[in-house]
Amino acid sequence: MLAAATAASGAAKTTLGALDWVAIALYFAILLGVATWVVRRRKDNAADYFLAGRNLGWWVIGASIFASNIGSEHIVGLAGSGAKDGVALAHYELHAWCLLVLAWVFVPFYARSLVFTMPEFLERRFCTQSRYVLSIVSLITFIVSKIAVGIFAGGVVFATLLPEIQINLGGHVIDSFWIGSVSVIILTGLYTMLGGMRAVAYNDAVQVVVLIVGSALLTIYGLVQLGGWQILKELCGSEMFNLWKPLVPAGQTATWAPIIERAADGQIVKQAWYFNQNFPWLGMAICAPVIGLWYWCTDQYIVQRALGAPNEKVARQGSIFAAFLKLFPVYLFIIPGLICFALVKSGKVPGLSEAWNADPNAAQGAFPLMVKYLLPEGLRGIVVAGLLSALMGSLAGVFNACSTLFTVDIYEKLRPKASQHEIVRMGRIATAVMVLIAMAWIPVVKGASGLYNYLQSIQGYLAPPIFVVFFFGVFWKRLNAKGCLWAMVVGFVVGLFRMLVDTPVTMKLAGFEHGYTQGSFFWIINNINFQYFSILITLISAVVMIVVSYLTTPPDENQIKGLTFATATADDKAKTRASWGAKEVLASCVVMVFIIGAYIYFTG
């Protein structure tokens, strides 16, 4: 995609200079030092490898949550979306309030249950079968979205910044895209497999500093080159700065009615079905919060950090700190995409405009393109270090989450007498296998229309059933194991069906270059906006869970004691109340003020 275009434009210019390499080398030296320190402190048991011995501090938890979330798909994908669609996807980045839901609603349940994984918590609330279903689906989600997207984004960065790097193996040229992808996997996988969660968390704490500083430098430098914030708004236009009125395809208008174009003989030549907006307001208002609450409150990838806290108080403080850090991405990743678009439009950076115009998919590489053509030597190295830190932090988090899910939820169930050493070894093996499977999925991601759009659509198809069973499960004690199991099975079947329908078109397989036959059943399914389809899956899962639960026996209250609000004991409530004070409330209020302020500013 970007490799060909950037190779042409980058041949005349060496992307990284001596000072840049010095900055990058210094970053890796610090990373190596932290990893070495962590590996020396490790213990050969499951609690230490998967949850850092449940001894993480609040600042490490918050920084690790943020670093794991703000990875490759955010820096590369969000900037690309900003360059193409404006601030529409800022909805997802303003989900810092979802972390407050984790802190105040779910942390008490997770802390007192002392579980290792989210499927394990679901087993305690409902049944063992639901644990297996969630474990398998979570692993699939990690492979086809987080791992594959992370690897692909690493390749995009290398293809843009170092297009001249190539390896010739027996006449077959391996370009910088694949060299970069494999390099990111090896470097990240090495310290993850050796140090486990402790290595991931402490390296994340270092990476967050580099990431924020590097991205802030690019944003500030870009605005200076452009001429300021007001110039940016004028060049981008009001639509790109509006959360609720995003761009629509060329020649179309935002409407709820079907769009039908007919030839002179009455034959339909073009037809659209309620999905002509890139990010419809109803989808953003309903689907985006569902995905956000699933991700921040129930996804192993994120919640595992909170599980590593020594108690409820530290877990809550870490989650609130992560919510504060989550306020930055709109301004550090989406806005640079808009700046890139504005710079191309203004023609103030000729090399950038040339590279953009040479590739129809150049918007996807907006962030690395700006690094390459905008920043001076030295500063460029700091931003590249920040970019690499995000790529590695995100992948390290998902590698550790995958190994935890497979080892704790599947392997330990099959081998209950396995030693602690054997469990840790299996966790490392599981990480390596997941990476190999994800690499096979990269061609699908590569064919997607947008990196971040692809990620959100996959999550939109698989997240709703998980959201339903967790949130309904803690708020509604009458819902039982059979309702939970059927809600997940039916919801996941519908979501996987949509993924299977989309995949041939996304990969542009033979016969699917132009999609399905217009007007056919599969064409309609494929063209329904992914957010609308996600809302449909949520409704189906909720209805199935409620109906099946009320048609079957109520759950045993002794079994769900302390696992729902209605069955929490007086002692449970007293411990929770003693774990927070005025500073936690004040910090949460500050986060909400910034979120509301952003919604007001970006609403036209």
Q: CATH number of the domain that 55 lies in?
A: 1.20.1730.10
Give, for 433, the enclosing helix (H) or strand (E). helix 420-446
Interatomic CA distance for residues 233 and 230, integer angstroms: 5
**CB of 436 closer than 8 Å to CB of 263:** no
Counts for the chain of helices (H) and strands (E), in that order? 29, 4
Cross-strand pairs, 200: none
Q: When comparing pLDDT for 328 and 283, which is higher?
A: 328
Q: Both ends of the chain: CA-CA distance in Å?
A: 34
Q: Does residue 110 lie in a domain region?
A: yes
pLDDT tops 70 at residue 545: yes
Q: Parallel, antiparallel, or unpaired: how do β-strands 268-272 and 259-262 relate?
A: antiparallel
The answer to whether position 62 is within a domain reads yes
Is residue 138 scored above 70 in pLDDT? yes
Q: What is the pLDDT of residue 553?
A: 93
Contact present, 400 and 50 (Cβ < 8 Å): yes
Higher pLDDT, 129 or 252: 129
* 138-147, 173-182, 239-248, 290-299: range with lowest mean pLDDT: 239-248
Per-residue tokens: 6? 């950037």
pLDDT of residue 584: 94
Average pLDDT over residues 360-386: 79
Helix (H) or strand (E) holding 401, with range, is: helix 379-404
DSSP β-ladder status, 259-262 and 167-169: unpaired
Domain of residue 190 covers 2-32+48-444
Tokens 């398998």 belong to which residue? 136
Which H helix or E strand runs over 168?
A: strand 167-169
pLDDT digits (tens, 9 = 90+) for 389-414: 777 777 777 777 888 888 888 888 78
Q: What average pLDDT does the segment 150-160 reach?
A: 71
pLDDT of residue 464: 93
Largest CA distance in the chain: 77
Q: What is the mean pLDDT of residues 203-212?
A: 75
Lowest mean pLDDT among 70-74, 307-311, 593-597: 70-74
The CA-CA-CA angle for residues 332, 335, 338, to 5°, reads 150
E strand or H helix at 259:
strand 259-262
Please compute the mean of the pLDDT values over residues 69-88 and round it to a whole number: 75
Containing 305, the helix (H) or strand (E) segment is helix 300-307
Residue 533 to residues 137, 487, 495, 524: CA-CA distances in angstroms?
Answer: 18, 16, 9, 11
Q: Lowest-confidence range among 94-98, 163-167, 274-278? A: 274-278
Pure H helices in 528-581: 530-551, 570-578
Question: Domains in the chain: how many in total?
Answer: 1
Q: In angstroms, rounded to a whole number, what is the distance separating the alpha carbons of residues 196 and 205?
A: 15
Burial of residue 91, with CB atoms counted within 10 A of its CB: 0-12 exposed, 13-18 middle, 19 or more buried: buried
Confidence of residue 357 (pLDDT cuts 50, 70, 90): confident
Q: Is the pLDDT of residue 129 over 70?
A: yes
Q: Is residue 262 part of a domain?
A: yes
Q: What is the pLDDT of residue 340?
A: 87
Better-scored residue on pLDDT, 378 or 581 = 581
Which pLDDT does position 604 carry in this prediction?
58
Average pLDDT over every residue of 291-311: 86
Q: Which of 594, 565, 580, 568 is nearest to 105 (CA)?
A: 565
User: What's the rounded Cα separation, in Å, for the pair 116 and 50?
Assistant: 8
- Domain membership of residue 303 (yes or no) is yes
Please give the mean pLDDT across all residues of the chain: 78
What pLDDT, on the 0 to 100 scale, is given for residue 33? 79
With 70 as the cut, is the pLDDT of residue 589 above it? yes
pLDDT of residue 407: 84
Q: Dihedral (C-alpha) 16, 19, 20, 26: value to the nearest 10 degrees?
A: 150
Report the alpha-carbon distance of residue 474 to residue 558 in Å, rounded. Answer: 15
pLDDT confidence bin for 386, thresholds 50/70/90: confident
Residues forming beta bridges with residue 169, ordered by sequence position: 172
Instruction: Give Cβ neighbours of residue 285 (< 8 Å, ≥ 6 apart).
Output: none
| Average pLDDT score over residue span 437-442 | 69
Spatial separation of the C-alpha atoms in residues 59 and 317, rounded to whole Å: 8
Q: For residue 508, tell me if it sits in a domain.
A: no
pLDDT at 12: 36
Q: State what percent of residues in the chain have pLDDT above 90.
A: 17
**What's residue 244's pLDDT?**
66
Residue 564 lies in a domain: no
Confirm if 218 and 226 have CB atoms less than 8 A apart: no
Question: Quick check: 21 pLDDT over 70?
Answer: yes
Residue type, 481: A
99-113, 302-316, 344-358, 446-460: least confidently modelled range:
446-460
Residue 530: inside a domain, yes or no? no
Say yes or no to pLDDT of 26 above 60: yes
Tokens of 383: 């931003």
Q: Which two tokens stand for residue 491?
A: 């919801």
Could you tell me which of 377, 374, 336, 375 has the C-alpha nearest to residue 353? 374
Provide the 8-state DSSP code for 561: T
Q: Which of 494, 502, 553 is nearest to 523 (CA)?
A: 502
Q: Reply yes or no on whether the pLDDT at 246 is more than 50.
A: no
- Asked if the model's pLDDT at residue 256 lies above 50, the reply is no
Calpha distance 337→360 (Å, rounded): 15
- Answer yes or no: is pLDDT of 55 > 50: yes
Q: Tokens for 308, please give them.
A: 């590593």
| CA 175 to mean position of chain CA atoms | 26
Non-local CB neighbours of 99 within 8 Å, separated by 6+ positions: 65, 296, 319, 320, 322, 323, 326
pLDDT in tens, 470-506: 999 999 999 999 999 999 999 999 999 998 888 777 6
Average pLDDT in the 437-465 region?
71
Q: Residue 171 falls within a domain, yes or no? A: yes
Q: Kindly list the distances between the CA atom of residue 351 and the CA atoms of 13, 79, 186, 231, in Å, as whole numbers in the listed order.
A: 10, 18, 32, 20
Residues 198, 48 contacting (CB under 8 angstroms): yes
pLDDT at 45: 55
Give the DSSP letter string of 201-253. Answer: HHHHHHHHHHHHHHHHHHHHHHHHHHT-HHHHHHHH-TGGG-SSS----TT--
Angle (CA) 135-139-141 rounded to 5° is 115
The Cα angle at residue 447 between residues 440 and 521, in degrees rounded to 5: 105
Q: Which position has the token pair 């952003």?
A: 598
Which amino acid type is present at position 18? A
What pLDDT is stored for residue 583 in this prediction?
93
- Angle at the Cα of 40 from the Cα atoms of 36 and 46, rounded to 5 degrees: 115
pLDDT for position 352: 81
Q: What angle do CA 337, 340, 343 make, to 5 degrees?
A: 150
The three-class DSSP label of residue 442 is helix
Average pLDDT over residues 234-257: 58
